[in-house]
C-alpha cells in the first residue's frame, strides 16, 4: 500500500501556528506585511499569486501585489525594490522568478536585505544557508521537508536524493537536507538532467525529492521499491475531461508507483499548499526580525 502524503494537514497545523504568532502581538500591533512584485503577465507565477493572497487572508498577513507596468525595465524594478526595502511597514518582499531578459533576477533581488527576502532566494540568503546560518529558506524547500517529516519519511542519517538542481528549488533543498539542523543531516545525492543513469543514482535513496517538472519521470524503473517520494514538480497536461482543458501533474507516474513506493505526495494537494503556509510563516519571521533590528 502506498501512503498518500497529503499536504492539507501539514498546511493547517502550520497556519494555526502562524495565526497564533500574529495574535500574540496583541490587538494594537501592526500585522506582518508581504509584498509580491511581479510582471503583470499570464505566467505560472500568477497562479501562485492567487494562492498567496488567499493564504495571507487565512492567517492575518497583510498582502499586496506590486505589478510592474510593461514599460518598466531593470532600473525601474531596482528602484521599486529599493523603495520597498526601505519601507519599515513592509516586512517581507517576494519577487517573481524566473524573470526573463533583460531582467537579471539576482541583480534585482540583491537590492532586498536578507531579512526581507522572504523566499530566501537572494545570494545573501543562499550563502547563509551554506554557512549554516539561514535567515530565510525558499518556502518550497521548507514545504517539501515539512511534508516528508510529517509522514516520517526517512531523512536524518539516511540516503536521500534530490532530483533537480535549480538555484531556487533543488539546490537549496539539497543544502537544507544536508544541513546540521535537527531532523536534517541526510546524506544527499543531487541528480539533474546530465546524469547518465538516474536509476543507478537513486538506487540507495530511502526518500526522493523530485523537483524537475517532467511528467512520469519517476516510475518503477528508477524509484527503489519502498522509497518515499516527495513530488515537488508541477506540470500542466491537456485533459479534455476538465472544463479548463488541462490539469496539473507531478514528476511521478503515480499509477505505476502505487503499491511500489512507501509513500507519495500527490500533485495537486501535496507540497503546493504547504509552500504557501511556509511563505506565511517566513513572513512572520521577517516581521519579528524587523522589530528586533535584523538577523545576527
Please report, as ranges, the residues that interact with ligand NAP according to CB under 6 A.
Answer: 140, 163-166, 168-170, 191-195, 198, 211-214, 217, 232-235, 271-272, 275
Q: How far is the CB of 57 from ligand NAP (least distance, A)?
A: 19
Beta bridge partners of 38: 67
Q: How far is the CB of 89 from ligand NAP (least distance, A)?
A: 28
Q: How far is the CB of 278 from ligand NAP (least distance, A)?
A: 9
Beta bridge partners of 264: 4, 229
Tell me phi and psi for residue 132, to 5 degrees.
65, 25
Q: Looking at beta carbons only, is 213 or 290 nearer to ligand NAP?
A: 213
Q: Looking at beta carbons only, is 80 or 97 nearer to ligand NAP?
A: 97
Q: How far is the CB of 115 from ligand NAP (least distance, A)?
A: 22
DSSP string, 31-78: PPEEEEEEESSSSHHHHHHHHHHHHHHHHT-EEEEEEEPTT--HHHHH
Q: How far is the CB of 180 from ligand NAP (least distance, A)?
A: 24
Q: How far is the CB of 102 from ligand NAP (least distance, A)?
A: 19
Question: In this structure, what is the dihedral angle of CA atoms 83, 84, 88, 94, given to the nearest 10 degrees?
Answer: -160
Taking CB positions, which residue lies at the least distance from ligand NAP? 213
Q: Looking at beta carbons only, is 120 or 290 nearer to ligand NAP?
A: 120
Q: Looking at beta carbons only, is 105 or 287 nearer to ligand NAP?
A: 105
Distance separating alpha carbons of residues 234 and 51, to the nearest angstrom:
15
Q: Looking at beta carbons only, is 208 or 217 nearer to ligand NAP?
A: 217
Q: Looking at beta carbons only, is 263 or 272 nearer to ligand NAP?
A: 272
- 106 within 8 A of 136, measured Cβ to Cβ: no
CA 238 centroid distance within chain: 25
Environment class of residue 42 by beta-carbon count within 10 Å: exposed (0-12), middle (13-18) or buried (19+)? exposed
- 78 within 8 A of 72, measured Cβ to Cβ: no
Amino acid at each position: 500500500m502506498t501512503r498518500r502524503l497529503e499536504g492539507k494537514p501539514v498546511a493547517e497545523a502550520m497556519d494555526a501556528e502562524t495565526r497564533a504568532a500574529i495574535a500574540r502581538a496583541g490587538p494594537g500591533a501592526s500585522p506582518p506585511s508581504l509584498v509580491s512584485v511581479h510582471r503583470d503577465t499570464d505566467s505560472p507565477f500568477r497562479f501562485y499569486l492567487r494562492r498567496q493572497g488567499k493564504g495571507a487572508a487565512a492567517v492575518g498577513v497583510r498582502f499586496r501585489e506590486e505589478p510592474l507596468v510593461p514599460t518598466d525595465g531593470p532600473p525601474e524594478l531596482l528602484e521599486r525594490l529599493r523603495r520597498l526595502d526601505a519601507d519599515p511597514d513592509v516586512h517581507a518582499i517576494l519577487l517573481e522568478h524566473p524573470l526573463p531578459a533583460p531582467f537579471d533576477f539576482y541583480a534585482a533581488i540583491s537590492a532586498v536585505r536578507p531579512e526581507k527576502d522572504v523566499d530566501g532566494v537572494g545570494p545573501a540568503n543562499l550563502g547563509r544557508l551554506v554557512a549554516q546560518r539561514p535567515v530565510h529558506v525558499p518556502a518550497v524547500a521548507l514545504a517539501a521537508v515539512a511534508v516528508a517529516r510529517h509522514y516520517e519519511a526517512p531523512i536524518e542519517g539516511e540516503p536521500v536524493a534530490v532530483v533537480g538542481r535549480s538555484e531556487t528549488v533543488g539546490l537549496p533543498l539539497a543544502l537544507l537536507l544536508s544541513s546540521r539542523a535537527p531532523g536534517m543531516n541526510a546524506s544527499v545525492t543531487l541528480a539533474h538532467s546530465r546524469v547518465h543513469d538516474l536509476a543507478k543514482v537513486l538506487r540507495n535513496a530511502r526518500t526522493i525529492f523530485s523537483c524537475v517538472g517532467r511528467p512520469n519521470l519517476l516510475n518503477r524503473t528508477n524509484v527503489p521499491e519502498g522509497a518515499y517520494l516527495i513530488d515537488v514538480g508541477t506540470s500542466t497536461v491537456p485533459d479534455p475531461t476538465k472544463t479548463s482543458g488541462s490539469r496539473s501533474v507531478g514528476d511521478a507516474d503515480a499509477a505505476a508507483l502505487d503499491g511500489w513506493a512507501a509513500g507519495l505526495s500527490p500533485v495537486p494537494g501535496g507540497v503546493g499548499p504547504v509552500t504557501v503556509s511556509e511563505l506565511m510563516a517566513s513572513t512572520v519571521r521577517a516581521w519579528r526580525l524587523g522589530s528586533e533590528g535584523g538577523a545576527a
